[in-house]
Amino acid sequence: MQLIAQGAEAKLIRAGNTLVKDRVPKSYRLKEIDEKLRKFRTRREAKVLKALEKIGFPAPRLVRTDESAWIEMEFLEGPVLKDVLEKKDAIPLCREIGRSVALLHNQDIIHGDLTTSNMILKDSVHFVDFGLSFFSKRVEDKAVDLHLFRQALESRHYRIWQECFDAFLEEYKAHARGAEDVLRRFLDVELRGRNKAKY
């Protein structure tokens, strides 16, 4: 057992070929509320991982879960994409990400934290950390996913972000159902973000 990361929400513990995500109690919350919230988020994440496995999506395979607080999933070996994107041929990788996000959204799954920090490069780009993921048919939620990815690219990969995002969008438009509506809403979300930044 090896602790490989500890964030605000959970500890990540490697156990051989699997990874245990253990949601830690929060002392600042009422105990009953904390337990209910951790159970809800754990159940939701497990449900998303099961749905992804059914469609062959590149993400960790769920091994088992204790709905009280933890999930055991496949450990994905490989570099985090944020560390290698600019050392690789970034455009094809971003096209691949665009196709994958379209597949997610076609299943009405919102990742909730689309960044290159939450992607592992194996034979293909694998998505990880579905702790903020949820099911939604709302165009707004899908547009916000795109907005978050655009922000992450510009922040972390500022030298190449525009061509990367253009490649991503080209594939997303080609493969996502209702892409035109999502992209129209995406422009609205971007505008709201710029207006908020002025104040």
Which residues participate in catalysis according to the annotation? 113
At 163 the three-state DSSP class reads: helix
Q: What is the CA radius of gyration of the chain?
A: 17
Could you count the other beta carbons within 10 Å of the beta carbon of residue 32?
8
Strands 18-23 and 10-15: antiparallel
